[in-house]
Amino acid sequence: MKRRVIQMMLAGIVSTLVLVASAASINAGEADPATNEVLRKLLTAVEEANYDSFVADGNAAFKAGLTKQMLEGVSGLLSSRMKTGYQTVYLGHLTQQGCHVHLWKLVFKDGGDDTLAKLVLKDGKIAGFWLQ
């Protein structure tokens, strides 16, 4: 019974996120050039498994929380797809806990699943970056 309630709650959350994402894509606009450059640098570092470049613009917590092996793992999963080509689609931004959170969709030319990129900036530094 508990499991069914949890599944129903998750379905509701997913439905809400789909609606929010749809609304964001309609009114998303574009990220500013500096933010787009940060994304480009991070994605290039993922594609090349370049740890030093990946953490260069991060704050202390970002650098401390990410190991070279973690980046290599993500790079191993996405690098070959990235090298065949992809497009970024800006979905919008949020302000959360004093941070600027930017969202993009990565659409790969191989026709496989898209990836969500989430970039968190605080005080001009990278505070977080996720590819899902």
Name the architecture of domain 31-131: Roll (3.10)
CA 45 to CA 47: how far, in whole Å? Answer: 5
Tell me: the pLDDT tens digits for 55-76? 999 999 999 999 999 999 999 9
CA within 13 Å, CB half, 67 = 3
Tell me: the pLDDT tens digits for 25-37? 444 588 999 999 9
Mean pLDDT within 90-107: 97
- Residue 12: pLDDT over 70: no
Question: Residue 127 carries which DSSP code?
Answer: E
Selected residue with higher pLDDT from 95 and 28 = 95
